[in-house]
Structures are given as structure tokens and as C-alpha cells.
Amino acid sequence: MAAWVSLVLVGCAGTPAGPELASLPVAPAASAPVAFALMPGDELELKVPDAPLYDQIVRVRPDGKVALQVIGTVHVQGRSPEDVQAEVRERYARAAGGQQRREYLLQANDEIDIKFPYQPAFNEQLRVRPDGKIQLQLIGTVQAEGLSPEALRDELRKRYAQHLRVPELSVILRSASSQMVQTDAGPGRAGLSRLEPVVMVRAFQSPQVFVTGEAARPGMLPHLPGMTLMQALAQAGGHLPTADVSQLVVVRRGAGGQAEVIRPQLSSRYLSAPDRDVVLQPFDIVLLPPSRIAELGQRLDQYLFKILPPLRNSSFGFVYDLNVKD
């Protein structure tokens, strides 16, 4: 006697609704080209024409940021190179400080000349000590760090006035150990106010679309401008009989890295409904879930036939209600 398995479906009313996900309206089949957006792994080059010492090549980190000289970390993921360039220029201008008053403050290791035009015997060429002080004839130790050359000159004139009748002198900065200056807006870096950095893309990931689930050939597809969901399904060989096309979703990375889910609500005859088509964006994920019947078959194989292999070749019948939730 031939072996058989009977399956009786009672009250099949479709797949029970799962947790509601964020939905987006279905896009029309034709739309404007998607603007280029930076992604982790892309390589950028920062060119500063008037200050090549700030030139830099960086790769976008997995967290979507890059670390640049002077201005620090910049978030670039999901943004256009032009948008990033505008922020970099604005932050360079901020790092320069205000424009009304700009004076250099002496730092440790700076080299200075102290010149007495009428008493050259008191001339000195010295370096600011690590503790920020200098030591001079007649007057001893003087705090220099944190003062501008002009402020140090005035302080020295007061000190030398106790020993010299006409303490005429000047303080000349021979070499500076820092580019920091004092401005009306606080500390700033010299030479940044008029720089116009240029952000260029050196290398980027090829845009792709991912088709997964119950497709004939799931995997990665190259994304082309204007590529639609139906075109991607066609390239993936179409859906398998085990797929539930009505539950197909497109997962898209939205603002802030949040996942957005598009539900086209297709039917098994989706090729005859082009109005339900969706224009895909780079790195979209097309997910074709299995139908309830396919899931039931997988569970029977996993929990019944693999545990009790003889049941595959025996007479066995049962009733299964597809409306019963797991």
C-alpha cells in the first residue's frame, strides 16, 4: 500500500499580522537620480591649497565619522561631499577665532631676542624655559609664558627702570613653538581664517542591492540609477513557490542610521501591477519571506520527520489550524 500523509487546512485566513513596522509610501517607478551619499569605507582626501601641511587622506570609519587635523571628528555618513566640505570650512573659520584682535602669546620653548638700542651690553638671546620663565641680567627671573611680546616688553621696562635711567628695549620673537593666537572670541589658530579646504572622494563602495529570502538566486546585485524592485527580482530569478510575495518588504537605511521599511503589498501577479513598483536606493535590502505553508513544511521536517524518520513512509494524518499562533 502506498504511503501517504494527509493535511487538512481548517479556517485558513492568511498570515496573522506581526509587529507593525514603520512604512513608507510606495515610490513611483520613475524618479530623480539618487544623490551620492558617503558610506563607511569610503576614502576622502582633504586638500588645503594655501596650507598643504593640513592635507589629509582619511577613510570613513564604521561609525560614519572621520578624524581631521585641527577641527577633530566630523560625521559624514549619509551626507554629500559638498555638505561635508561646507562644514569643514565653517569649522576651520571657527578654529581661527575672531578677526578684530589677534596677538601671539609666548609659550615654553619659544626663542626671543631682547634688544637695548642704547645699552647693547644688556642684549639677550634666550629661550623660554619649560616653566614659562626667563632669566635676565639685573632683574632676575620674569614670567614670560602667556604674555604677548609687547606685554613682556612693558613688564621688562618696569623692572629695568629700577636700574637704568632710560630702559628703552624691544622684545623680538625669533621662533614660535605654537600657532595659537589670542582673539576677541578666545584662543584661535593662526592662518586658518581664510583657508578654503576642498573635500574630494578618492574611493567609494560600488552601490549594491541585496535580495534575500525565497528568491531563485538570492544575493548581491549591482545598483544602477533608476533600478526598481521588479527589475531586482527579475535579476534574482524571480520568487520561489515557497515565497509569500504579499509580505515582501524593502529595508532601507534612513536618517540617523534608522531602518525604514517599505511594504509594497504586492500580489502573486505583481508583474501586471507596475504601479506597485518601488525605485530602489543603493544598499536597499529586499526580503522575500516564506509562506505559511512553506514554514509548516520546514517545521514538519525539522521537528517531526527528522525525529521520527519512519513517518515519512507511513500512513499519517492530522489537522493543523494555520490561525493558531506560535
State the pLDDT at residue 309.
Answer: 59
Per-residue DSSP letter, 295? H
Choice among 8-12, 82-86, 145-149 with the minimum mean pLDDT = 8-12
Q: Is the pLDDT higher at 292 or at 142?
A: 142
- Please state, in angstroms and rounded to a whole number, the distance separating the CA atoms of residues 229 and 28: 11
Q: Give the up-direction half-sphere exposure of residue 264: CA atoms within 13 A in the CB hemisphere.
A: 30
8 A C-beta contact, residue 172 and residue 115? yes
Choice among 58-62, 119-123, 142-146, 298-302 with the minimum mean pLDDT = 298-302
Choice among 31-40, 229-238, 295-304 with the minimum mean pLDDT = 295-304
> Is residue 2 over pLDDT 90?
no
Give Cα 15 to chain centroid, integer Å: 39
State the pLDDT at residue 11.
Answer: 37
State the pLDDT at residue 99.
Answer: 60
pLDDT-based confidence at 14, cuts 50/70/90? very low
* pTM exceeds 0.75, yes or no: no
pLDDT tens digits along 46-94: 999 888 888 999 999 988 899 998 889 999 988 999 999 999 999 888 8
CA dihedral 67, 73, 76, 80 (to 10 degrees): -90
Q: Give the closest residue to 228 by CA, choosing from 271, 278, 281, 270.
A: 278
**Residue 149 identity (one-letter amino acid):** P
What is the three-class DSSP state of 304? helix
Between the CA of residue 150 and those of 5, 85, 122, 191, 298, what are the distances in Å?
100, 38, 18, 21, 85
State the pLDDT at residue 54.
Answer: 87
Per-residue DSSP letter, 239? B
Q: Is the pLDDT higher at 245 or at 125?
A: 125
> Is residue 315 over pLDDT 70?
no
8 A C-beta contact, residue 96 and residue 185? no
Q: Is the pLDDT higher at 267 or at 286?
A: 286
> Is residue 149 over pLDDT 90?
yes
Residue % of the chain over a pLDDT of 70: 71
State the pLDDT at residue 259.
Answer: 80
> Is residue 29 over pLDDT 50?
no
